[in-house]
Structure 1
């Protein structure tokens, strides 16, 4: 059972960032500093990658701890939500 009202849940989910998150911005800065150029969120590519290198036929997906639940027991972000 959800503990929030539908409007409260909508407001909370609207705060979840799917673009320009801190980990993604860090990866973008590093890749750009290395001299690579890329396209952001290229919808022509399968899965809409965060960074797409068309000429190299490569893509980078930056996933956070919350959504992908990596097995690190010390990470406080990789946990099941209470509601």
Structure 2
């Protein structure tokens, strides 16, 4: 497994919302949430209908997210496709 080379882009962030920003605006539901560690955007996971966390990565290039679920403590790099 490749080692992530993007940890220098991790910032101290404030969550942008208490749920998926885009789903809340659209009145949609999500499965799980992810927080962008570059800017704090909260988006829904790829198991969710709209996949807003991945869309945020595609739109911004911000590489690393963390789970925004209670009790979960992991981070994922989209570019390296690996846990951080």
TM-score under structure 2 length normalisation: 0.27
Bigger proportion of residues as strand:
2
- Which structure features the higher share of helix residues? 1
Q: Higher Cα Rg: structure 1 or 2?
A: 1
